Amino acid sequence: IKDILVNLSSEQIALISVIVTLLIYLLGKHNELKFKKHELKKDKYMQFVDLLKDTYLKGGDITLDDEYKEKFFDFGSTLFIYGSKKIYKKYCFFREFSSDFIQKQKYYDKDIILYLIADLLNQIRKEIGMYNLELPLNFKSISFFTNDIYFNPRISIRWWNSKIKVFLIKFELFMCRIEEIVFLNILTVPFKMILLILKYLIVIPFGRLLIKLGIDKKLNK
């Protein structure tokens, strides 16, 4: 390395200096952009905490007025643009958990909503870099607005029960999609192809023939 550095020409040294300067500039811009995105994440993630506050103050009864819908949309769009795929999927499942389709699933339990909220908060801590060297909080992440959580010795069992139920609900939804794709789409493709063949090779030509015969009869008259 010493020999290479000694034998470098002034032009090569100047070129290396330009490259190093450019790399330092690009690295600084990258870190600056990363910091801005990190700060924006923190500000936007606080919106979800505000939604929890509104829910808590209203006793869980939230009227979906335009302002509240706008908060949900704003937070969801933030996750879509800046959040990871994992937290975006968690939020979408949280939004759809109260739908009629999910409520009909075998392992549905309305108390799972607390697990979904806690799971989102835990993931948010990971997203903003506050969770890397800490033990999982599980349900303790919602202790600031829910009583009988932090020192409850049975809360860990409830956490794992909720986690298992969520997994089973998602697995059942996955099987429903598989059934719909396989039995309603794949297995009906041959039948649909036969209908298209009948339409374009028999029905349409036969219809055109009847129309032509009708026109010829009128001309002969």
CA distances from 181 to 41, 104, 186, 193 (A): 37, 20, 6, 17
Q: Specify the pLDDT at position 167.
A: 92
Q: Which amino acid is at 207?
A: G
Span 182-207, average pLDDT: 76
Span 179-190, average pLDDT: 66
Higher pLDDT among residues 176 and 216, named by residue: 176
DSSP per-residue string spanning 96-109: HTTSHHHHTSTT--
Given pLDDT bands bounded at 50, 70 and 90, which one contains residue 218? low
pLDDT at 203 over 60: yes
pLDDT at 97 over 80: yes
Most confident segment among 89-93, 185-189, 213-217: 89-93
Higher pLDDT among residues 36 and 164, named by residue: 164
**Residue 190 and residue 124: Cα distance in Å, rounded?**
47
pLDDT at 100 over 80: yes
**Mean of per-residue pLDDT scores for the chain:** 77
Q: Which amino acid is at 202?
A: I
Structure tokens at 72: 């949900």
Lowest mean pLDDT, pick from 45-49, 75-79, 131-135: 131-135
Q: Specify the pLDDT at position 182.
A: 63
**Residue 221 and residue 219: Cα distance in Å, rounded?**
5
- For the CA atoms of 41, 43, 47, 53, the dihedral, rounded to the nearest 10 degrees, stands at 130
**Residue 87 and residue 99: Cα distance in Å, rounded?**
20
Q: Specify the pLDDT at position 186.
A: 62
**Residue 192 and residue 81: Cα distance in Å, rounded?**
40
| Residue percentage of the chain with pLDDT more than 70 | 75
Minimal CA–CA distance to 102: which of 47, 157, 155, 166?
166
**Residue 127 and residue 34: Cα distance in Å, rounded?**
12
pLDDT at 30 over 80: no
pLDDT at 166 over 70: yes
